[in-house]
Structure 1
Amino acid sequence: MSGPGTVEVQRVKREPVRDGTFRVNTLYSGVSAGTELSYVKGTNPYLSASWDAALGLFRPGEPSTVYPVTRLGYMEVGRVAESATPAVREGAVVAMAYGHRTGYLADPLTDRFVPLPPDLDPILGVYVAHAGPICANGLLHAAADLYGPGVRDLGDGIRGRRVAVVGAGLVGLLTALFASRHGAQEVVVLDETSRRRAVAEALGLAALNPAGGDPAVALKTRWRAGPGADVVFQCRGRAAALHLALRLPRPQGTVIDLAFYQGGADAVRLGRSSTTTGWRCGARRSAGCRAGCRRRGTGTGCRRRRSRCCASAARRSGGIWSPRWCRSTRRRACSPTLPRGAARRCRRSWRVE
């Protein structure tokens, strides 16, 4: 990407496999309509501020990222074509986050890779390396809010509880599926777009149109004991969505914010929510450990466990996870493998933007 609005395909020199490395040929590469679009628009904060990794803060100064951006994307699945390391065998299918390219030379000491189970459809691996663990991290934040460092399971924070998910994009749907499959009493997904709600319903989730009346009134009437949601996951990068999320929890409920606000969040009216409900709010860390992790600062193990959870959930769920928006390096587009009926309802719906 040479500049805002300019995306190009470049040919690069193929490096030879060195001792201790391995080469993968890309099978699938998923597109993030949030993070990647921010680079296309030029709104990503790394393009306008300096990231202080030690303090975890954006600070004034030289931008941490400048054009051209040559590594874009984080949802790749590849087959190991050559291996000069015992860490991975030739022919293995792995999930990685090396960006959109036809192949990649990887070092197992610096590049994280997740071998996929042989009985998992490889296209589902696009969720495993990074996108799915982000959503799993949201559930772990909810668990840490209840148990602190005593968290033992992905479902500890939502099991037997009422969960609202604002936004039915990729992050929202995966988060809702995780919550549903890890024991939530009820999960309701809120989104104004009818096609997104149709996908949520096809996946077995309850869906609510926030434009069809006051959704806070609807949910708090539905969930009288509280009243409101025990846990709210905010998964849409709009200020209005955050404002809505802050109105949904019960008193002392939890709001976990997984969204990316490219244009800021000036429309959030904290005075109307925080003073009347008394919620607790947490925000995601895309790559780091959850809050309360006893291995804080050494997040590789946590990310590996979250990736394994994603692979396991995708394998159990089968074709309902299959995304239409994935592009294959071997064919133009992937057909959905949704159950009969669900595929018809979701026919152009998986391209969530």
Structure 2
Amino acid sequence: MLARSDVVVPVPDDVDPVLGIYLAQMGPICANGLLHAAAELAPGRDVRLGDGVAGRTVLVTGAGVVGLLCALLAQLHGAAEVVVADPDPHRLAVAGRLGLDHLDTSSTEVWRWCKDRWRHGPGDRGADVVLQCRARSAVLHEALRSLRPQGSVIDLAFYQGGADDLRLGEEFHHNGLTIRCAQIGRVPRGLAPDWDRLRLAQETARLLRARGTDLRAHLLTDVVPERDAPGALAALARRERAGTQVVIEYPRRRSAVPGAGSADG
């Protein structure tokens, strides 16, 4: 039986049913990130999901599932340019197959690349917005360095070990930057009447319609039978498995909803 707080979003008929895993949580997390960018860069009551990225230069730090979905959403909503940054060659290869521009952070100074690439005027260089999707405080610091003056980092990460590598006495202070936390537990202040979990899921469905074939081919890398799930999840935890998105397939005779695991981090 459904609780009053449950949200039911049917998988569109023209979308591979397995992609429905993104409707429950992962997709709304990413859509909520874009919504926070919209509230920060184009404030107002009648906010559209793409208002924070449309016509803007967007850096996405992290090429895990969250980062790649955020990048695709930014593309879908009219970003002028989207670049994904990550040190993992497997993840960068997936980004490339999805048609996303990408940077290898193990060999490229991302902040310098952004300042050289995106020149808006004298003393005004860097990304308009960074969608920060890696749970490392050093990456958050790099995100701040990559922004143009008065730019914004929309932070979707969760720093379980604290943020010892974050420095706020440099670009953050001198360039008047903003860090806005975007967690799925809440939408931006004042937008709850118009933006709930159902609407975020519906925006995810829009992405699945537009890019579902590519997502199924390149992002959803492994479908694992239920009996093999413990070993697959253990291999993910030990970083021994290179799959980007792992889905657990239950026998058809059971009514359980398919589960999903990812190698984000």
Q: TM-score, normalised by structure 1?
A: 0.61
Map of 1:268 onto structure 2: 166
Instruction: Choose from 1, 11, 14 the match for 1:116.
Output: 11
Match status 1:193 vs 2:91? no
Instruction: Choose from 112, 121, 129 the match for 1:217.
Output: 112
Instruction: Choose from 139, 150, 166 the match for 2:34.
Output: 139
What is the correspondence of 1:1-353 to structure 2 with a 5 Å cutoff? 21=1, 107-225=2-120, 226-293=124-191, 295=193, 302-322=196-216, 323-325=220-222, 327=224, 329=226, 348-351=242-245, 352-353=263-264
Q: Deviations over 1:187-209 (max 9, x none)?
A: 01010111111111111111011
Q: Deviations over 1:136-168 (max 9, x none)?
A: 011111111123233432111100000000010
Cα distance change, pair 211–132 in 1 and its aligned pair in 2 (3 A) = same
Per the TM alignment, residue 329 of structure 1 is displaced from its structure 2 partner at its CA by 4.4
- Distance in 2, matches of 1:325 and 1:235, equals 22
Cα distance change, pair 260–325 in 1 and its aligned pair in 2 (3 A) = farther
Point out where structure 2 has 5 or more consecutive residues left out of the alignment: 230-240, 246-262
Which structure has the larger Rg? Answer: 1
Per the TM alignment, residue 328 of structure 1 is displaced from its structure 2 partner at its CA by 5.1
Count residues with an aligned counterpart.
230
Per the TM alignment, residue 326 of structure 1 is displaced from its structure 2 partner at its CA by 5.0
Point out where structure 1 has 5 or more consecutive residues left out of the alignment: 1-20, 22-106, 333-346
- Amino acid paired to 1:276: H
Cα distance change, pair 192–256 in 1 and its aligned pair in 2 (3 A) = same
Question: Would the aligned equivalents of 1:148 and 1:292 in 2 still touch at CA under 8 Å?
Answer: no
Map of 2:251 onto structure 1: none
Q: What SS is found at the alignment partner of 2:79?
A: coil
Question: Would the aligned equivalents of 1:143 and 1:151 in 2 still touch at CA under 8 Å?
Answer: no
Q: What SS is found at the alignment partner of 1:111?
A: coil
- Amino acid paired to 2:128: D
Q: Could you say which structure has the greater relative contact order, defined with CA pairs below 8 angstroms and 6 or more residues apart?
A: 2
- Amino acid paired to 1:303: R
Indicate the percent of aligned positions where both proteins have the same amino acid.
46
- Distance in 1, matches of 2:60 and 2:5, equals 35
Per the TM alignment, residue 331 of structure 1 is displaced from its structure 2 partner at its CA by 8.7
Q: What SS is found at the alignment partner of 2:44?
A: helix
Q: What SS is found at the alignment partner of 1:188?
A: strand
- Amino acid paired to 1:304: L
- Amino acid paired to 1:267: D
- Distance in 2, matches of 1:156 and 1:127, equals 22
Q: TM-score, normalised by structure 2?
A: 0.80
- Distance in 1, matches of 2:163 and 2:223, equals 30
More off after superposition, 124-133 vs 146-155: 146-155
CA RMSD of aligned residues (A): 2.1
Map of 1:28 onto structure 2: none
